[in-house]
Amino acid sequence: MDIGEKLRQLRQLKNLTQEELADRCELSKGFISQVERNLASPSIATLTDMLECLGSSLKEFFSGFDEDKTVFSGEDMFVKEDDAQLKGSITWLVPDAQKNRMEPILIEIGAGGESPLMPPHEGEEFGYVLSGSVFLITGTSKKRVKAGCSFCVHPREEHCLKNAGKTIAKVLWVSTPPSF
């Protein structure tokens, strides 16, 4: 459970700004911001006060803590077909993964296709080639990655995957933070 995100959603549901909530709780706006971004953890007493100001309680707030979904079926996944550039599809394996710290996708790249060019960013990316083969292109480097092999990059340069063969290449790709 992302406590900061849940507090932010509850605050917004009540149509309060961070400053308004801070005034009601006798806290600073900066502290509210840090809590919502999970940079600070409120004490139980402070969290109780915040929840009371938001019209909730600890019991209501944490009910559903165990209900976070952890197993996903095909019905939960989102598929985007791309016949132009990718000549295949991207499947988001975890719903709303862009809200998480990592984003797993299954990317299918058809013959002659390539993934979108990703700009440099903070974080890491991991890939495992399930079938076919791809070229991992980072800056001016081009490395072939075959089925059963993996890659890990710290994306300091533009990068993408290109299908290296004549059949569909399937790659499990995990990026942190989410980038797709």
Whether residue 66 is predicted with pLDDT greater than 50 in this model: the reply is: no
CA-CA distance, 129 to 148, in Å (whole number)?
6
Q: For residue 80, what are its two tokens?
A: 């985007």
Amino acid 108: pLDDT? 97
| 150 and 166 both lie in a single domain | yes
pTM over 0.85: no
| 108 and 58 both lie in a single domain | no
- Amino acid identity of 76? D
Among 57-71, 90-104, 160-174, the range scoring the smallest mean pLDDT is 57-71
Amino acid 101: pLDDT? 82
Q: Are 149 and 169 in contact (CB under 8 A)?
A: no
The total of structural domains in the chain comes to 2
| 63 and 82 both lie in a single domain | no
| 147 and 61 both lie in a single domain | no
Whether residue 179 is predicted with pLDDT greater than 90 in this model: the reply is: no
Whether residue 122 is predicted with pLDDT greater than 90 in this model: the reply is: no
Is pLDDT larger for residue 95 or for residue 179?
95
Query: Distance from CA of residue 123 to its chain's centroid?
Result: 11
